[in-house]
Each structure stands twice: as structure tokens, then as C-alpha cells.
Amino acid sequence: MAKSSYCSLLLCLSTMQFALMASSETLGITIVKASQPARIELSISNLSTKPLRMWEEWNSWGAAHWRVLVVRAGRVEVFYQNPDRGFTLNQPTFIEIKPKTHIKHILDLGDGDWRGPDPKAARFRPGDTIIVIYDVPKSYEIGDEMSRYASKAGVWFGVATASTMIP
């Protein structure tokens, strides 16, 4: 498949905002604003009638679940959170979003916590398509006991996406 076909497929899929999951709660992501140099403001919504739990990002359970794709002139740049950052205290904690409400979340590619093609120099440009992916696995490779805890904690798992074009 040609490079342009991959980009066309990626753009087609990214125009839909969706969540694919096996957990019962429905999580929605909307890009509220993408600003310079490479900062994304998100609205994360609980679309269900039950509270929705998300891992906090300061621990290994919540770290490195976000990806940002920047499509520019037929090329795709991939940025992802650093999976190798250190934790001074590492225990599973989560936030809870009340039913039918949302929270604000910021992704800043220049904050030093991202990997990709020179994330500190990342800059959105007019015409760029920005695709945000939130990908949370159901189980973790951190030992049987902790993986069982993660499964029983009732935290959302699955994949959710959103996209926007920079005017």
C-alpha cells in the first residue's frame, strides 16, 4: 500500500471521534483547542450514567497512554509519552469523572515528557491534522498481584481518539 493510501486511511479514521473498549463505561475525548507551539487542550467526558475511573498519570498505571499524530503534507509524525520516566512512589491511583460530566486535560509536547521527532521543537502549523489517541490496556505486565488489582479497580480501559485540523 502506498504512503498516500496509509495517510488517506489514517485521515479517514481520524475524522471520527470514537472509543473502542471492553469496559462498560463510555469515555469521550474532544480536542477543545490546539495552540502554539504544540499544546492540546482536551475535554474528557464520561458519557455514561455511572462514575468513570481513569488512572492518574503520575504512576506507571496511568503513564504513557497518550499518543499524538501530526499529519503534515502527507507525512505523519508520531509523538508518545515517555514510558521510561522514573517514579518516586508508584502505586495505582485514579480520578473519577461523574456521570455526564467532563474534565479538562492538557497535552504539551514540549514539556519534556514526550518522545518523537524532536518533541521540544514540535510546532503545529496551519493545515496540520492533529490526532490524539488514548490507549489503556486491560491488563499490565507488572506482576500477577498488581495486574489483578488493576483489573478489579474498575478503571476504564480501551482506545479513544479525537482529531482536529489547525486553521
- 72-130 pLDDT, tens digit per residue, is 999 999 999 988 877 777 778 899 999 999 999 999 999 988 999 987 889 999 999 99
With CA atoms as reference, report the closest residue to 73 among 116, 11, 120: 11
Q: DSSP label at 128?
A: -
Q: Please give the average per-residue pLDDT across 29-50, as a whole number.
A: 96
Decide: 125 and 56 in contact? Cβ < 8 Å.
no
pLDDT at 5 over 70: no
| pLDDT given at position 155 | 87
pLDDT at 67 over 60: yes
Decide: 29 and 132 in contact? Cβ < 8 Å.
yes
Written as nine digits, the cell of 9 is 486511511
pLDDT at 37 over 90: yes
Decide: 101 and 155 in contact? Cβ < 8 Å.
no
Written as nine digits, the cell of 109 is 509536547
* Predicted confidence band of residue 165 (pLDDT cuts 50, 70, 90): very high
| pLDDT given at position 86 | 78
| pLDDT given at position 146 | 61
pLDDT, greater one: 54 or 144: 54
Q: Which residues of 6-28 are buried (b: 16+ CB within 10 A; e: fewer)?
A: ebeebeeebeeeebebebebbbb
Q: What is the tally of structural domains in the chain?
A: 1
| Distance, CA of 150 to CA of 148 (rounded, Å) | 5
Q: How many percent of the chain have pLDDT more than 90? A: 54
| pLDDT given at position 19 | 42
pLDDT at 2 over 60: no
- 111: containing domain: 3-165
pLDDT, greater one: 94 or 21: 94
| Distance, CA of 71 to CA of 93 (rounded, Å) | 34
